[in-house]
Structure 1
């Protein structure tokens, strides 16, 4: 039996092919919802084409159709009627047929594909009429998404492209499903994931941070298949995309759970305690107000060891969850937070406990615009369960606000920016105007305020002029106010004494 040579799909062809489907949906659904429908269709097409590819390979060996269909010749099962070719034959109630096929595939692969297709409204004909679904199916039928035509890494890159495009096109910050990949790469390099380690993202979005650890090991030529990846995501549709994303990147040991990490963490050990991990990468939602503070005050997993955060800001709830999720020997974390966690007054007791825990290793301030459609600046916090001897009871502060490039309305970290920040982190020493090492005693002397300009002298703006940070000015004002209050108190005490006499 002869086989045709694969028709390799270039990255440009793939991007045009994927985005062409979005064009078919314009005007029918909100751009922010494209992902709920396009990702599952691409995934269903990929599964069908890979199944056919595996079938053809087995047929070469056995020359028998029934033997070629045996489960041991396939990574997953596709039940009768659920194959892409079956769906192309449907002319009416296409949404119903699509939904049934997706649920059948999930049921046939309970260990790997449960919930992977999400919860799109496939049967809503006002949203997705048969004509549109037929056009989408025929559009995706124009290419064969076999591994030979499109290796896993390349299809994974196509998914990343589409995720970014949806972030751009939706006009939202899209933080819940996209974090700037150049920033994620930097965070991953700082933590240096190793073969065989466990990696966790408690708010994993589409799984980009988890995949970054695989990409880093591949880049170094190290074994990546034995990484154990774990993620939890609140949004059901986004958690489904994360499952697809891991699968399409060839990651066999990937576990994505749907649910609220603060209310019901998904990964526990045999004793019902929080499972711990070697590496944690996270970009939690910023300063959410709608969370169950009362339940956290009585948290059964002991995640309130630093205290209970204010109702208006759950940042330190996620912070403590991450700290509690670190393996006590090997654990290290890189977390994106708003700058406010470094100096907000209502969190001073939590911050003091964080510093005293000796987990805090580095605080890195980032430049503006690294989040799509948002000018917000953020900070990377590095935690490490077991610091090296020379880093004990010390914290490194890096002011990287100017280490950012901008191109076509998007900001990113160029190679030179990543190299400079990573070098300062690894050297762990003072660099005038850029980095400074502070002892825990020095941090205590500043009332546990972690605002970067308090430690990195000579901070500059993008035009090179020296500035006094708003954070520094605020601290100075509060110190002056405290001194003034004390002085007024002394004067009032003297006046009372005079009156009493």
Structure 2
């Protein structure tokens, strides 16, 4: 079974996080990511001739496993990894870590345990990349990105800048137009990031570029990063994303650009993406701006000494190809409007019309800062013909993620589609001419200046508060509802003052929700969106989801499915098509992508595979240490790897499932009845109190039986007393006295006491005593308690029998389900996956969202209806009456004033 991405991420992170101890996240990430990288390369290339990497004996992950638990494990690991680096000429390319570092990993047993524990995490069979080559590159690369994101989250403000949130990277990658280029004879397209960090922004942009006939990207990538350790992260990131040919150089870009042309000037690139350090106060280190040999500031001006935002910006302009160069830069929103030297630079840039677009982002997106940022899109191609800048104010589209904000899938796609299509949306996007920017706003590019947020709050209407009635502006605020069903407006409201457009509610507020839900136009729109629109999309994507194979590109698949759902739901009036898009992408990230990657690697046959959960047993590892392993002889539960057992049960064994559920419901009722009996009789005087456990919240079976036996020991009757005496006399051989007792009590004649020879029999006497005890009566003082205990016992026995029946029924159903998994045909698997799993979930999301929208609209109508329900005069009158009542009550109590 191929690795599931979401399972891999959480598995690795949780395990590594537990072992981190006191090591800072910004440093610990290097240890973890080096091991992840080494594990992947070792699995992928060991034993292969002419491979991209050489993995020899003594320099593989298997050698790390052999070192586990040894007293010198740290030293051994260092030597193994160093040998690998030397054989592949990677010295200095990866983060500089030592697994024999007592300052960071502890000393003695602590270091041994920590390093051995880290190795054990990556030894997990679930991340064996030898058997996951069909999807390994994608999985491991994205897992690496996930790790960097998690470490960035934990590293705090000062150390999280090595990572650009993937959501922002994805936006830039699509906005710069790299996906539109074509392969040209003799032309190799180039992509550069002068502040590469861990390389995620470069990788996202490169992922958007087309590939040649051999599947190789037609773009070469080049990065520069100031810090060597972070450059090492980027190099590993390139390799793990199958971009090992990408270059990354370590040096200060502004002071010492690593990429120069044959004449010593800056090398020109076709595309540049960049997320530089915000408001860099040290940008002049190693450089005298007025004498910059690369002439980056000529014609623009020198940026402020303690703020390097425009220094980075102008570096990009200089490094871009002068004819077709395009770039996407992340900068603080302040660069759009700050005065003085930056204003001068900004106006000079605007005069050249290089800026094609600006996207204002929400605040608190980035790990190194909480200030709002923007994306500036630069395009030198036909810049002289450009008439304006397309702006997007995306500052309100995000979700909370811990202490940071995060763009949702719908936010990402809305930005991209709006920009690509140059769609002007009130309060969100607008094309602003250079004339308006320069002549009317003096070069100020502050996005909210041109795109104001729509204020959807309703002002209070003083006249309606004074005189009553509902103002028309309030009613019109629910335009979505009236657009679907114009008749609803008249059905709910009636105009009582045409001159001032004042309305009254026709019905009780409690009726509004029902009236809306039963409106025919509303019903038709629900049917349209849940049925027709969803059905159109489902039919459009069906073939692609039912024909996944090894050559399927999952990222391309979901991209196409997303574009299709946006298009198909564009006419929806209840749901926003981007909200529906969000349902799809959230489910994709949560579960669906795992399914697709599994099918891509193993085929639809994977639908027959089952994942078992076993009991654990103790064993010894390769170092003789005690560990817990699966006991395959004791299965605890199972689940389908692709298709849940719940789907199999509902689809094929409905009758058996129904019968089982009825039994479970019966047990639930019995449990409830037992709880009720216990609670009613658990007080100090309760009849079951003597059978309770120490906590007083349950009645163990042993306690119950003990108490019943104890009370039965208190049973009495004349017959029991006489038989007891007979047994005592039998022991002393006093037959004559025994005969007297028998003659005196005629009830004893009903018991068989005499042997065939006419003498009293010991066995018969004891049998008679047992029978007499059973027929004896509990003393009245104990009768109620005894009867309650018996009733509870009977209910408990009934439940135990039902539990046993459930267990048998569950076992029978399990056997049927297990047999069915192995017998599933490919057509059945495809049907179950598509109709019963994927589409059922998404259709449910759409239906639930529509219900929520209608509830919100109905609540809005009710709110408006109640807003002016009582006039000021009525409220004052009511207040006055209440005041008089209180005053009167106080006077009766003797208070005067």
Question: What is the match of residue 62 of structure 2?
Answer: 85
CA distance in 2, matches of 1:462, 1:141: 55
Question: What is the match of residue 387 of structure 1?
Answer: 382
CA distance in 2, matches of 1:14, 1:376: 33
CA contact (8 A) 1:180 1:371 kept: yes
1:54-453 matches, within 5 Å, as 55=47, 70=49, 72=50, 74-90=51-67, 91-110=70-89, 113-128=90-105, 129-143=111-125, 145-149=128-132, 151-172=136-157, 175-193=160-178, 194=181, 197-217=189-209, 223-292=215-284, 295-305=288-298, 306-346=300-340, 347-372=342-367, 375-387=370-382, 392-406=386-400, 411-428=405-422, 430-445=424-439, 446-453=441-448
* Partner SS for 2:288: helix
* Partner SS for 2:62: helix
TM-score, structure 2 normalization: 0.46
CA distance in 1, matches of 2:113, 2:130: 30
* Partner SS for 1:137: helix
* Partner SS for 1:127: helix
Q: Which runs of 5+ in 2 are unaligned?
A: 106-110, 460-897
CA distance in 2, matches of 1:79, 1:303: 48
After TM superposition, give the deviation of residue 408 of structure 1 in Å: 5.8
After TM superposition, give the deviation of residue 201 of structure 1 in Å: 1.1
CA distance in 1, matches of 2:382, 2:423: 15
After TM superposition, give the deviation of residue 341 of structure 1 in Å: 0.6
CA distance in 1, matches of 2:195, 2:426: 35
CA distance in 2, matches of 1:80, 1:208: 32
CA distance in 2, matches of 1:287, 1:88: 46
After TM superposition, give the deviation of residue 278 of structure 1 in Å: 1.4
CA distance in 2, matches of 1:220, 1:273: 31
CA distance in 2, matches of 1:327, 1:387: 12
CA distance in 2, matches of 1:44, 1:272: 37
For residues 299 and 145 of structure 1, do their structure 2 counterparts lie closer, same or farther at Cα, with a shift above 3 Å needed? farther
CA contact (8 A) 1:396 1:429 kept: no
Question: What is the match of residue 482 of structure 1?
Answer: none
Q: Which runs of 5+ in 1 are unaligned?
A: 1-6, 59-69, 466-501
CA distance in 1, matches of 2:260, 2:229: 23
CA contact (8 A) 1:173 1:371 kept: no
Judge which range, 243-252 or 433-442, deviates more: 433-442
Relative contact order higher in (CA < 8 Å, ≥ 6 apart): 1
CA distance in 2, matches of 1:226, 1:273: 25
After TM superposition, give the deviation of residue 223 of structure 1 in Å: 4.8
After TM superposition, give the deviation of residue 377 of structure 1 in Å: 1.4
* Partner SS for 1:345: coil
Question: What is the match of residue 489 of structure 1?
Answer: none
CA distance in 2, matches of 1:40, 1:318: 30
Structure with the higher helix share, 1 or 2: 2
CA distance in 1, matches of 2:117, 2:225: 31
CA distance in 2, matches of 1:200, 1:406: 32
TM-score, structure 1 normalization: 0.79
After TM superposition, give the deviation of residue 245 of structure 1 in Å: 0.9
CA contact (8 A) 2:352 2:383 kept: no
For residues 246 and 269 of structure 1, do their structure 2 counterparts lie closer, same or farther at Cα, with a shift above 3 Å needed? same
CA distance in 2, matches of 1:16, 1:455: 43
For residues 304 and 84 of structure 1, do their structure 2 counterparts lie closer, same or farther at Cα, with a shift above 3 Å needed? same
CA distance in 1, matches of 2:338, 2:153: 31
CA distance in 1, matches of 2:152, 2:334: 25
Judge which range, 97-106 or 402-411, deviates more: 402-411
CA contact (8 A) 1:183 1:412 kept: no
For residues 413 and 240 of structure 1, do their structure 2 counterparts lie closer, same or farther at Cα, with a shift above 3 Å needed? same
- Render the CA deviation track for 1:116-142: whole Å, top value 9, x for unaligned: 331124332232223321222233223
CA distance in 2, matches of 1:281, 1:40: 26
Question: What is the match of residue 494 of structure 1?
Answer: none
* Partner SS for 1:257: strand
CA distance in 2, matches of 1:269, 1:395: 31
For residues 331 and 189 of structure 1, do their structure 2 counterparts lie closer, same or farther at Cα, with a shift above 3 Å needed? same
1:418-497 matches, within 5 Å, as 418-428=412-422, 430-445=424-439, 446-456=441-451, 458-460=452-454
- Render the CA deviation track for 1:176-231: whole Å, top value 9, x for unaligned: 22222222211111112136531111111111111112433479999553321111
CA distance in 1, matches of 2:58, 2:323: 50
For residues 444 and 340 of structure 1, do their structure 2 counterparts lie closer, same or farther at Cα, with a shift above 3 Å needed? same
- Render the CA deviation track for 1:274-331: whole Å, top value 9, x for unaligned: 1111111111110011232652321111212222111110001100111111111221
- Render the CA deviation track for 1:392-422: whole Å, top value 9, x for unaligned: 1422222222233445665333343334323
For residues 222 and 341 of structure 1, do their structure 2 counterparts lie closer, same or farther at Cα, with a shift above 3 Å needed? farther
For residues 310 and 102 of structure 1, do their structure 2 counterparts lie closer, same or farther at Cα, with a shift above 3 Å needed? same
Q: Aligned pair 1:46/2:31, yes or no?
A: no
After TM superposition, give the deviation of residue 355 of structure 1 in Å: 1.0
After TM superposition, give the deviation of residue 81 of structure 1 in Å: 2.5
CA distance in 2, matches of 1:462, 1:331: 41
Question: What is the match of residue 484 of structure 1?
Answer: none
CA contact (8 A) 2:26 2:160 kept: no
CA distance in 1, matches of 2:219, 2:41: 23
Q: CA RMSD in A?
A: 2.9
CA distance in 2, matches of 1:123, 1:248: 26
CA distance in 1, matches of 2:296, 2:369: 31
Which structure's CA Rg is the greater one? 2
CA distance in 1, matches of 2:24, 2:271: 36
